[in-house]
Amino acid sequence: KCRTGPLDIVFVIDSSRSVRPFEFETMRRFMMDIISNLDVGPNATRVGVIQYSSQVQNIFSLKTFFTLADMERAINSIIPLAQGTMTGLAIQYAMNVAFTTQEGARPLHKRIPRIAIIVTDGRPQDRVTEVATQARNAGIEIYAVGIQRADMNSLRAMASPPLEEHVFLVESFELIQQFAKQFQDKLCGVDMCVEREHGCQHSCVSTPGSFYCECNPGYRLNVDGKTCSPIDACADGRHGCQHHCVSVRGSYSCRCRAGYYLSQNKRSCTMIDYCSFGNHSCQHECVSIPNGHYCRCRSGFTLQPDSKSCRATDLCNGVDHGCEFKCVSTEGSYHCVCPEGQQLQADGKTCSKCGAGHVDLVMVIDGSKSVRPQNFELVKQFVNRIVDLLEVSPHGTRVGLVQYSSRVRTEFPLNKYHSADEIKKAVMDVEYMEKGTMTGLALKHMVEHSFSELEGARPLSHNIPRIGLVFTDGRSQDDISEWARRAKESGIVMFAVGVGKAVEEELRAIASEPVEQHFSYSADFTTMTHLVENFSLNICPEEGKGETEIRSPCECEALVQFQTNTVAILQSLTEKNILWARSLAQMTARLEDLEKQIANKK
């Protein structure tokens, strides 16, 4: 057996039409004679076989077989291709495919020789010089074996130097089996580590016709290729120590700074938790730091001079205020406030919703590539803030959502969800589409599908307002004018919201009249809050189209009417109180007269 060390060998066999069937049989025997004398195995020599003519066919790769029996069966089952002679193509395949780690070649850093044995009987029909040079530069040692009619110049162009050890010309196919023994000796050679004074400090590894030195674990080979030096395991930065790396010959250990201890993984460091000792006396929170701790108060409290106790400064953070929207602290007290366009209810905590009327609202949001993932999350938050303004129910306001880019996708129709919580959860689950900006296509989808009764829109005869809100951050890649006009002609009240590079002309074309009340713009995604406020002032219809008069409770007229009614009620109560006072005075006077009459009779 050839035991000079593991090899990665790939046979590159010419099966062109010039190779007659009985001649190809001798090539099979040649391969088996070579392989049978190799020490094959996953950790020893690996073998692969490819054949070529006008194309290249992989018979088996370096990772396929590790026994002689399996290899022999595969070689005996080869059917010659019997076409042209594209030797350069075969070398290219061997370099790019056969000798890759994916196909079973060992990594280059393991220094296992990669050997290609090319067997051909003719002149290549393509160029071989350049691709053979590339293969040799990639670390492949090429043996060129020519038979009978082979071109010597082509063999020399393919083979590795020195040519006298890598180029062979066999006179006929009948002689190739005799040549196999000679070639085996050349391939295996002698054990150079035994035959020569190698000078390796630690270990010598023999290869065909040569050798190289290796160092023991914990050492690296010096530039002279023979002597070894201890490895500074910390120097390459791959030790993974969080704090300090301490090099030990061939290995390392990790250490931590003062105030920390080494974790179980022997790499990361954990700060000593001084608070866990139980003697900190902090009223609220104890915070550990290296070599000590300090006390910290919860939000809304101030740390006192003793550095341990806390006193409340912000009652909103110190009590369970119950405010639906926002709590505002004052000196020694607090009160609740509501967003603009909503009123604080009698309980002093909750806010009025846009419940004066019912609407069918479809929001069409831009999911194009220019929006970017982090901004798309802000768009979803914007949508949910609008949902917070509405009283969602099957018989109240219904909400649908459409996303578009180069295509259009209904995220959920008007009849899918029946509560604000369901809608808000569905909005946060929406996945970003990316790609183009087809706003016109999205408007067409909204008109033809989103406001259909099939998707939950109430019939027009019910006089439920239909509202469409289009959100975009750039210029549309298609025409919007036709479907913007059709949307408004079909009775949909259109709102247009633009951010960043949105085109004002397109926003105005989408918006219903009066345009100023139906389109909004923000310079960037982080300043969109005022757009929600603008929308809240306009989305509640001023007048219903059915039996119910729909009025916003926040309009000036409604406030004036409320004030007038309140004053009238107060005046009525005052007048009644005056009448009661007069009657009481009269009754008192009559009682006094009766008392006088009784006294006189006595």
Q: What is the DSSP string of 55-109?
A: SEEEEE-TTT--SHHHHHHHHHT-----S---HHHHHHHIIIIITSGGGTPPPGG
CA 271 vs CA 282, 439, 467, 599: distances in Å: 19, 55, 57, 98
Contact 444, 436 (CB under 8 A): no
> What pLDDT does 404 receive?
94
Contact 154, 124 (CB under 8 A): yes
Contact 542, 549 (CB under 8 A): no
What type of residue is 469? L
Q: Token pair for residue 76?
A: 């005996």
List all residues 6 or more positions away from 239 whose beta carbon is below 8 Å from its beta carbon.
233, 245, 252, 254, 267
Contact 332, 319 (CB under 8 A): no
Element (H, E) at 207: strand 203-207
Q: Residue 231: phi, psi to the nearest 5? A: -85, 130
Instruction: State how far the Cα of 179 lies from the Cα of 169, in Å rounded to an integer.
Output: 9
Q: Could you give the residue ranges of the DSSP H alpha helices within 389-517? A: 420-428, 439-445, 481-489, 504-510
Contact 502, 521 (CB under 8 A): yes
Instruction: State how far the Cα of 532 lies from the Cα of 385, in Å rounded to an integer.
Output: 7
Return the SS3 of 547.
Answer: coil
First to last CA, the chain: 154
Which regions of 297-405 does DSSP assign to beta strands (E)? Answer: 301-303, 310-312, 326-330, 333-337, 360-366, 398-404
Q: Residue 132: phi, psi to the nearest 5? A: -65, -40
Residue ranges, the chain, pLDDT below 50: 356, 541-556, 558-559, 562, 567
In the CATH hierarchy, which fold is given to the domain comprising 360-539? Answer: Rossmann fold (3.40.50)
Instruction: State how far the Cα of 386 lies from the Cα of 528, in Å rounded to an integer.
Output: 12
> What pLDDT does 490 receive?
93
- Whether 314-353 and 360-539 share one fold: the answer is no
Contact 420, 387 (CB under 8 A): yes
Number of helices (H) and strands (E) in the chain: give both, helices first: 16, 26
Domain ranges of the chain: 7-187, 314-353, 360-539
Which 8-state DSSP code applies to residue 527?
Answer: G
Which 8-state DSSP code applies to residue 222?
Answer: -
Helix %, strand %, coil % for the chain, to 5? Answer: 35, 25, 40
Parallel, antiparallel, or unpaired: how do β-strands 260-262 and 269-271 relate? antiparallel
Place of tokens 């902090």: 282
Using CA atoms in the order 414, 419, 424, 426, what is the torsion angle rounded to 10 degrees?
-60
Any idea which architecture 7-187 has in CATH? 3-Layer(aba) Sandwich (3.40)
Closest CA to 467 of 442, 449, 450: 450
pLDDT digits 0-9 by tens, 141-177:
999 998 888 899 999 999 999 898 888 888 877 777 6
Element (H, E) at 385: helix 373-388
Q: Token pair for residue 583?
A: 């009657």
Which 8-state DSSP code applies to residue 458?
Answer: P
Instruction: State how far the Cα of 167 lies from the Cα of 160, in Å rounded to an integer.
Output: 8
CATH number of 314-353: 2.10.25.10
Closest CA to 208 of 195, 221, 191, 225: 191
Instruction: State how far the Cα of 522 lies from the Cα of 527, in Å rounded to an integer.
Output: 6
CA 183 vs CA 27, 167, 209, 304, 485: distances in Å: 14, 10, 13, 91, 85
Contact 433, 405 (CB under 8 A): yes
List all residues 6 or more positions away from 177 whose beta carbon is below 8 Å from its beta carbon.
26, 29, 30, 33
